[in-house]
A and B are shown apart, each in its own frame.
Chain A
Amino acid sequence: MSDTGEHLPASPAGDVPGAEVPERVLADLPEFGPASYAPAPEGTDLVHIAEDYGLFIGGEMVPARSDRAAPTVNPATGETLATFAVGGAEDVDRAVLAAREAYESHWRDTPGSVRARYLYRVARLLQERSREFAVLETLDGGKPIKESRDVDLPLAAAHFFHHAGWADKLDYAFAGAEAHPVGVVGQVIPWNFPLLMAAWKLAPALAAGNTVVLKPAETTPLTALLLTEVLRDADLPPGVVNIVTGDGTTGAATVAHPGVDKVAFTGSTTVGKEIQRTLAGTGRRLTLELGGKAANIIFEDAALDQVTEGIVGGIYFNQGQVCCAGSRLLVQESVADAVISKLRRRMDTLLVGDPLDKNTDIGAINSAVQLRKITELVESGVRQGAELYQPSCALPERGWFFPPTLFCDVSPSHRIAREEIFGPVLSVLTFRTADEAVEKANNTPYGLSAGIWTEKGSRILWMAERMQAGVVWANTFNRFDPASPFGGYRESGFGREGGRQGLLPYLHLQGAQL
């Protein structure tokens, strides 16, 4: 008998076909599989990173008046990639003035067809330089190159392309109303999809005729800074987009600036609430895209192999550092064992490691701070009695990594079932009936996304209607598109990004119903 059968689960000895193949030939068979893939690193030679960066204000890179700077680090190695300026209140003020000047002197009167031209150019330039951006995104943020290459960059370009077409069609977007820009927009974005979030923010704001002050995340400023080259190459007029890098104080100064007519924030619920308080009584507009604790609900009749992929994609995509991650698995009791068994086997094939390797499935955690938070919550899960599973994968010695993690026997009161972990950690709960699934799924202050897996069409619609969530993925998960509005219910924020509904926050509708 060959050695092949011995690895098989529960295979009765001697029942494997081909036992009489000569040992000599069998012994020559090479190893092939996830464990033996040779490294396939993406080249970094096409990326040029400067030693230090200033701020992009009024169409130029200028030094920060704050005189403050900070390093940005490659989370996969711990090495400093560059130093960037930490904008202070005075810098934010300059940026807002530049945006105001551009808005009032020409941009608000620039015809939509012209704004469209600029946005189309940006989309095309991004497509042309997409590999360069993807590599830089991976270097700066730690996400696997296959995700920055196949998800972040194509979607970022698509957002500009989609919204370019809206710029000269706003009169058709909202029947019976005249659409006007809001003015100067302050946007603060997170580190999990640095360039993509910039695109989600900039594209609709510019299409609607606003000018922008954008504040990238503290740990991932580089692709936004590279984007300034694209904006300049697209001949976007100075001041229409200003990028002020920095830390939390820079973001706070941006949202609090009285010259900002509208604030858009994507990030944690804690900071979102702080911003909502800051803007209270100012009459300035606000949209928030905050945290989540999505339920991914599996019914017994679902396509279990695609379910397995959906669970894996739902929680391990971008190391689980995704606000809409399917972090709570709700599985019908009758298939719980089967689903968990498939899931564990699938987890064993996940490749954790160098984010630049084209085969890496799970890259680096974005920062030491985030890694500590994940570690602490996972420890709480173990302490509170949930059953931990992690595949035995070797983690790189340098950098910040965390293995894909599964918790079974989770009770709804456990911290890992309630708090947003923002890491590759899945908590499994079970249910018996659809009503119980609805109750458990909605048992959270969040309401960003939900997953429903069943082959029964009427149950999908019944469940979807009951999900307190802005995005419902049925028989799929973590799908995004510029034409598809994204945003939360409840403490996951308000306002939508993408599609016609995503234009609303950036427009002032007048003279409705003539």
Chain B
Amino acid sequence: MTAKPAGRRRGPVSTVGIGTAGSRVWHVNTVAMRAASVEVSGRAGEHGALPEALVGLPITPTDAVGLTERAAALAKRSIKTTAKGAALTLAVRCMDLTTLEGVDTPGKVLSLCAKALRPEPTDPAVPPVAAVCVYPELVGVAAGALAGTPVRVASVAGSFPAGLGPIGVRLAEIADATSAGADEIDIVLNRSAFLAGRYRQAFDEVAASKEAAGHAHLKVILETGELGSYDAVRKASMLAMAAGADFIKTSTGKIGTSATLPVALCMAEAIRDFADADGRAVGLKVAGGIRTAKQSWQYLVVMAETLGPQWLHPDLFRIGASSLLNDVLLQLDRLGTGRYPRPDKTVV
């Protein structure tokens, strides 16, 4: 798909039944939104204006201190015995086992796929992970290895990680990854447009990416470490969801600041508000810097207590990680045996 002429500035967005502020009931026609056209570059007239698809969506401000304190309180939940087992199993089931290195090879991807299917060869009770996440070049390898299994193939696309390639090239890359067998596409939000106030452009690009992804689910990476405030995270979350994202995702893992609990909480609150207003359940993917089993269940706690246990499902929650799985497996092993295992026990 290529960009449509800039002259068609507005997509066929129709909103129905925008309620009064008092009743806080909104019905926004997201299907119409997804068909929104792409504006290739920002126009002066659009500067700063939020797309009309966002009108009526609750973009409440966020107080950074209160948010951080709430996240810290959730992080203190004491997870023991059965709850810990459940958390670790869920963490595995919701994991996107990721390799996004320039030196990735078919061999590495194949071994990753094997691990994704049977994370713990000696313990068949350990379930497969949710997906394997690779660069588009290697989608075919992963798709071949995972065909007929519950493990999905995810691909970054759209000039990852900056997302600033020509829009036509980005959309083509998305379509290419999808046709190579990707079930899920991880793109980045155009932060250049978003931070410059060209919200319409950022929105339209997501909508076009959704269309380009076809049957594949679209995860939109906000790269929250670059957004500067939780207010911006919330606004970007709403923008991505209204534009059709199936998931919103914290980070690329390619910059210093990746997922944090407060950011995840902020995005989860946006998802909840969006579901209330729009009726559509959007997933959350936290990625980058999540290395320990304890971190993983802290994110699960944030999800469970913000969005409800029904969100703790690979359809609606993902943890993108490369080294986390091993720590989770070690913890599962300890839970089963009651002994602390050697760290080299897990399969590389």
Contact = CB atoms under 8 A, between A and B. Distances in A.
Given A8-B310, A32-B309, A341-B24, A2 B315 contact: yes
A10 B277 CA distance: 9
Nearest to B77: A359
Contacts of A19: 315
A210 to B, nearest CB: 36
B185 to A, nearest CB: 12
Interface size class, chain B: 35 or more
Contacts, number: 162
Interface string B23-45: 11000000000000000000000
A28 B78 contact: no
B85 A30 contact: yes
B77 A31 contact: no
B309 A303 contact: no
Contacts of A304: 58, 60
Q: Is the interface of A mostly helix, strand, loop or mixed?
A: loop
Interface string B273-290: 001100111010000000
Contacts of A33: 304-305, 308-309, 312
Interface stretch (B2-10, B66-74, B173-181, B339-347): B66-74
A306 B81 CA distance: 31
B315 A309 contact: no
Given A25-B150, A309-B69, A309-B70, A35 B315 contact: no
A36 interface: yes
Nearest to A475: B63
Interface in A14-56: 15-19, 21-22, 24-26, 28-40
Contacts of B69: 309
A11 interface: yes
A225 to B, nearest CB: 29
B107 interface: no
B291 interface: no
B15 interface: no
B61 A30 contact: no
B276 A31 contact: no
Interface in A497-514: none
A337 B86 CA distance: 35
B310 A7 contact: yes
A7 B304 CA distance: 13
A336 interface: yes
A29 B80 contact: no
B18 to A, nearest CB: 15
Interface in B90-110: 90, 93
A16 B283 CA distance: 10
A247 interface: no
B86 A30 contact: yes
Interface of B: 21-24, 58, 60-63, 65-67, 69-70, 76-87, 89-90, 93, 127-128, 150, 217, 246-247, 269, 275-276, 279-281, 283, 300, 304-305, 308-316
28 contacts: A2-B313, A3-B310, A4-B315, A8-B275, A11-B280, A15-B279, A15-B281, A18-B314, A18-B315, A21-B314, A25-B127, A28-B127, A29-B89, A29-B90, A29-B312, A33-B312, A37-B79, A37-B83, A303-B61, A305-B66, A306-B63, A309-B69, A341-B24, A349-B305, A358-B78, A455-B61, A476-B63, A476-B65
